[in-house]
Amino acid sequence: MHRTHTCGELTINDLTKEVTLSGWVAKSRDLGGMTFIDLRDRYGITQLVFNMEDNEQLCSEARKLGREFVIKVTGTVIERSSKNLKMPTGEIEIKVSKLEILNAAKTVPFMIEDETDGGDDLRMKYRYLDLRRSVVRKNMELRHKVAHETRNFLSSHKFIEVETPVLIKSTPEGARDFVVPSRMNPGEFYALPQSPQTFKQLLMVSGFDRYFQIVKCFRDEDLRADRQPEFTQIDCEMSFVEQEDILNMFEGLFKHLFKSVKGIDIPSVPRMTYADAMKYYGSDKPDIRFEMKFVELNDIVKGKDFKVFDDAELVVGICAKGCASYTRKQMDELTDFVKRPQIGATGLVYCRYNEDGTIKSSVDKFYNEEELQKWVNAFEAEKGDIILILAGNANKTRKALNELRLEMGNRMGLRDKNTFAPLWVLDFPLLEFDEESGRWHAMHHPFTSPKPEDIALLETNPGAVRANAYDMVLNGTEIGGGSIRIHNKELQALMFKHLGFSKEDAQKQFGFLMDAFEFGAPPHGGIAFGFDRLCSLFAGLDTIRDVIAFPKNNSGRDVMIDSPSTIAQDQLDELKIATKN
């Protein structure tokens, strides 16, 4: 046996035992007559001790060991004279009697420690070394536990885990597909699934009733901290359900995961309509760890010859508690923040409600203190608060104020990663109009059912139609979304018509689903959770890359294996693919 115990297992209760351990040399300390080595494996660290007086040759061999050498030792468990109670094994050490080098190691490119000196690029290139670090390993262990508890919960509620195909057909809706050439069908291509949407609906037609899958999905889109070209979903579907059934079931899953993985009891998840989310937070995924709701000011501020407000479609602001003491420099920073191109505001108006009761604004030229008092009243501001106001196009202004609200939340310490505030957002619009293409697009996907009472509006006012759709939001991040699906051919055909599909296009792309609906499709609905996002939030991380064993960088490259890469010309010829130089 290469080991009788792991490096995180032995305690004071194991004194005098003869044991064999194997692992990596994490640290070595030479103190003259004695050499101490920290031996590491997945389970922890155990200190080894070599004594020149006991065995000079063995101690000399130990001194030659480099970091990350793989070794096997046999020895006796003894009590440490200098204990480290922060470690599970910190009360004991192994007095080594036998040492075997299983594999030597080159000098590593960065320190294999919690606080490493390796940058992101270097750690990604040597990801197999980065995974030896305990902080990274713990992320993988957390991911495993979330998956394990998800399967436990859903299995206990009669869900069946079914694998769906990875090679499917390309569809034009949504993000770009990754495509795969077919050698046996020259000139034709598979696509990698952006989600198993149509397959899980077909499983409902098949009578499977309750399906789930922890599944890989693929989207060829621009990357950022919470996006990877391949990602994982907890994908679920249920038959004979209404929206309330879905919300209750998956709120239950959410609470179970928090309790079993984090030890946190989550109360009932509040609900908010999409319309209110946009009105009060400027976002369909509001961070409700803190208040700072939007207050609209059109009725109060217009007609005072301040052109910025008079010409604006919307004047709206937030109240930042206790921030009236912000300096001119801090206000200039906030102004520069909202004027950044990715935010797009033209400027920032502010109003201080000072501790002495006076009210001062950046537009005192146009508004006297009596008029500014109306602003204070509208926000229910208190002495010491500051009001921050943006104006302009309604949609753009709400989005910009959302960014400012989040920035203020960060500056005021209101976005604690250890505080969790979930939210259901309901009643999304079914359709959104795309100016570039000049047609309506599905806000979620083409199979989302409209609210029954809104179906008639499809012909007269498509933008007012609400979807039977819902998102789960956690701390300002969308972690899941779904809908009640269309389950009859006529309504699905009507939906395709309003999305600009011809009958031929709809039949070509989704005929298999439309045909299936004619054989008795039950009412059904489902949801998919972003598994990577959920794990990263549980771990308190800013990026999903840190909960993925072998992630890709922001260019979609795996720098460890150097992928994507070119392929040989004979492979291209076999696939009937020509590339341009």
What is the full DSSP assignment across 4-28? SS-TTT--GGGTT-EEEEEEEEEEE
- Residue of 399, 531, 418, 429 lying closest to 472 (CA atoms): 531
Q: How much is the pTM?
A: 0.92
> Which residue ranges make up the annotated binding site?
173, 219-221, 228, 444, 478, 485, 530-533
AA letter at 237: E
Q: Crossing angle, helix 394-411 and helix 274-281, to 10 degrees?
A: 70
Which DSSP symbol is given to 363? T
Is residue 557 within 8 Å of residue 564, measured between CB atoms? yes
Is residue 451 within 8 Å of residue 298, measured between CB atoms? no
pLDDT at 490: 86
Give the span between the Cα atoms of 263 and 529, in whole angstroms. 20
Return mean pLDDT, the chain: 94
Domain 12-103 shares a fold with domain 136-271+422-570: no
pLDDT at 225: 65
Is residue 449 within 8 Å of residue 442, measured between CB atoms? no
- Residue of 78, 134, 94, 139 lying closest to 111 (CA atoms): 134
Please name the residues in contact with 486: beta carbons below 8 A apart, sequence gap of 6 or more: 447, 448, 449, 492, 495
Reported as a single tens digit per residue, the pLDDT across 201-258 is 999 999 999 999 999 999 998 877 678 999 999 999 999 999 999 999 999 999 999 9
Domain 136-271+422-570 top-level CATH class: alpha beta
- Enumerate residue ranges in the chain where pLDDT < 70: 172-174, 225, 581
Token digits of residue 104: 């030597």
pLDDT at 459: 85
290-412 carries CATH number 3.30.1360.30: yes
Reported as a single tens digit per residue, the pLDDT across 435-489 is 777 788 888 888 899 999 998 898 889 889 999 999 999 999 999 999 999 998 8
Token digits of residue 324: 């009236």
Is residue 193 within 8 Å of residue 528, measured between CB atoms? no
Q: Which CATH code fits 12-103?
A: 2.40.50.140
Where do the structural domains in the chain lie, given as residue ranges? 12-103, 136-271+422-570, 290-412
Give the span between the Cα atoms of 426 and 284, in whole angstroms. 9
Reported as a single tens digit per residue, the pLDDT across 29-55 is 998 889 999 999 999 999 999 999 999
> Which residue ranges make up the annotated binding site for L-aspartate?
173, 219, 444, 485
Give the span between the Cα atoms of 49 and 576, in whole angstroms. 63
pLDDT at 372: 96
Task: Please state, in angstroms and as integers, the Cα–Cα distance from residue 240 to each residue in 209, 487, 526, following that order.
Answer: 8, 11, 11
pLDDT at 580: 79
> Which residue ranges make up the annotated binding site for ATP?
219-221, 228, 478, 530-533
Please name the residues in contact with 254: beta carbons below 8 A apart, sequence gap of 6 or more: 266, 269, 422, 472
Three-state SS for 74-85 is EEEEEECCCCCC
